[in-house]
């Protein structure tokens, strides 16, 4: 994951934003430690605002990597995802085409069960509800770098879902 984040950071248009990306305490932070601080925006717990900022940054030429530490928290941004990111190109007759890379995690249930609101898998909902945003499942470690590389080169937005128990061993 560190190699994938470093690959993304080499692109001058890429900027990372999210909770716990600048301060220790989460697995996402650990994968961004080597990324320069000027490429990171630490966000408060305000998921919908974070997605709105990500969309705005993309419309200004950046490629935001919007990090949500749990896919459950990404659900708080569904209005921005469904009614804005997924529809702006159509609503603007092709004039605007935002590109946001959304990084999120299906939380592990072991060694401790974190509660139902921290380990659900909403990927099917996202695949069905977002026809203009491609959803990728990272279930094997060897797929991480190629998937992020492909998403960086793509012309559309992507959601990259990590499975903590599968690629991190719990």
Q: Is the pLDDT of residue 58 over 90?
A: yes
Specify whether domain 2-167 bears CATH 3.40.50.970.
yes
Average the pLDDT over 51-74 and give the result: 96
Q: What is the pLDDT of residue 121?
A: 85
pLDDT at 166: 65
Mean pLDDT of the chain: 92
Residue 24: the pLDDT is 87
Identify the three-state secondary structure at position 133: coil
- Alpha helices (H) in 25-163, listed in sequence order: 27-32, 47-59, 71-74, 78-80, 88-91, 123-129, 144-153
φ/ψ (deg, to 5) at 88? -60, -45
Domain spans in the chain, listed from the N-terminal domain onward:
2-167
- Measured CA to CA, the distance from residue 43 to residue 61 in angstroms comes to 20
Q: Which pLDDT tens digit goes with each residue over 137-164?
A: 998 889 999 999 999 999 999 999 998 7
pLDDT digits (tens, 9 = 90+) for 82-125: 999 999 999 999 999 999 999 999 877 677 777 777 767 888 98
83 CB-near residues (< 8 Å, 6+ apart): none
């Amino acid at each position: 994951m560190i190699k994938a984040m470093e690959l993304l950071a080499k692109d001058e248009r890429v900027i990372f934003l999210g909770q716990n990306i600048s301060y220790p305490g989460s697995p996402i932070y650990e994968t961004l430690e080597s990324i320069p601080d000027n490429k990171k925006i630490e966000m408060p717990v305000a998921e919908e605002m974070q997605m709105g900022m990500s969309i705005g940054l993309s419309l200004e030429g950046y490629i935001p990597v919007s990090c949500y530490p749990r896919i459950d928290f990404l659900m708080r941004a569904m209005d921005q995802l469904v009614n804005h990111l997924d529809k702006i190109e159509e609503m603007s007759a092709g004039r605007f085409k935002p590109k946001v890379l959304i990084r999120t995690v299906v939380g592990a249930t072991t060694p401790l069960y974190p509660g139902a609101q921290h380990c659900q898998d909403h990927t099917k909902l996202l695949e069905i509800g977002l026809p203009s945003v491609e959803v990728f499942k990272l279930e094997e470690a060897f797929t991480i770098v190629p998937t992020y590389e492909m998403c960086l080169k793509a012309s559309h937005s992507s959601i990259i879902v990590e499975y903590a128990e599968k690629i991190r061993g719990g």
